[in-house]
Amino acid sequence: MRFGIAVFPGTWSDRDCAHAVQLDGHDAVMLWHKDRSLQGVDCVILPGGFSYGDYLRTGAVARFAPLMESVQEFAAGGGLVWGICNGFQVLCEAHMLPGALVRNGSLQFRCEPSWLRVETTGTAYTSGLRLGQVLQIPVSHGEGRYVADPATLDLLEEQRRVAFRYVAPDGSAVGAASPNGSLRDIAGVVNEGRNVLGMMPHPERACEPLLGSADGMELFRSVAASLARTATFA
């Protein structure tokens, strides 16, 4: 499989994502922000960082990059687009996902382990996981608090489009230990087509035991397995 990894000025998780992809035996293709070609990739990853310095708002400038026009067309055609941290912010700014990411409730930059509960297995990103499974995946952000109006939040819940929720290590409610104060403890959501995922935690930083957790690799494997099934039956 070929994973395309977007590179904006200020991106810094691109090589980490490439490492995770290559660990699982797949090709990592770097996609420069000024280019329009996606080079025939099977999945596009918008990685973490500070795209264009996060001027104006996080992700607000990156949404206008030439590459993003191609990414939006790719997603509209059913292609897999995966936004991680800053990538999630870009997807919200581009209106590819609902809601917004705002300053952490603590007003602090938080870089620490977090625990996510799998809330749906009905996506390419989570089909290889178990419903209710708890993953240890770190966060690293200052503007990671997910917010949306009540009607949007209710719709996300009703359509099972909340992919991950912050929880305590035992899977119970995270409460005051939330890393950012996201509404309803939401850590990741998908679009209506379920082919676009945005999540704040960094699975590429949890892809091998040396990093403290290899749980993040399960997402990369899930995507690859889903793509393989699609190719088999296409």
Phi (first) and psi of residue 9, to 5 degrees: -60, 125
Amino acid at site 124: A
- Provide the token pair at 9: 């000025």
Between CA 144 and CA 88 the distance in angstroms is 9
Length of the chain: 234
Catalytic residue among 93, 119, 143, 204: 204
Q: Is residue 204 flagged as an active site residue?
A: yes
Whether the CB-CB separation of 15 and 56 falls below 8 Å is answered with no
- Sequence-ordered list of residues with C-beta below 8 angstroms from that of 168, at least 6 positions apart, any chain: 115, 174, 175, 177
Tell me the HSE value of 132 on the side-chain side, using a 13 A CA sphere: 2
Active site residue 93: no
Distances (CA, A) of 114 to 8, 59, 71: 26, 23, 29
85 and 48 Cβ atoms separated by less than 8 Å: yes
Query: What are 195's two structure tokens?
Result: 């082919």
Concerning whether 143 is annotated as a catalytic residue, the answer is no
* Catalytic residue, candidates 85, 93, 143, 207: 85
Catalytic residue among 93, 202, 207, 218: 202
Known catalytic residues? Answer: 85, 202, 204
